[in-house]
Amino acid sequence: MATFAVTYTYSDATTAGRDEHRPRHVEFLKSVFEEGLLVKSGPFGPEEAPGALLIIKGENKVEVETLMNRDPFHQNNLIDQREIRQWNIFFGADQN
């Protein structure tokens, strides 16, 4: 399985919508984590532009995109920009 870095960029215009849909967004991420596909995730720090980084496992980019399309933030158009990039890990990779 490959690893993908997914970045979300938000705008201030979507703050209220994100607050409204955050419980469903968190439940979605929790379920993906429990499936073993979400490795790590979290928002960028308070001094950074609004957004988040998610590290996702998947067979290919299309599979990860399909999965992330289920995120309530995506379904409610609360992400200004989403980027999905395959990430080839050298240091810290599983040694299996």
pLDDT in tens, 43-89: 999 999 999 999 999 999 999 999 999 999 999 999 999 999 999 99
Residue 95 lies in a domain: no
* Domains held by the chain: number: 1
Residue 66 lies in a domain: yes
Q: Which domain holds residue 62?
A: 2-86
Helix (H, G, I), strand (E, B) or coil at 1: coil
pLDDT in tens, 40-53: 999 999 999 999 99
Q: Calculate the alpha carbon distances from 87 to 28, 72, 73 in Å.
A: 22, 24, 23
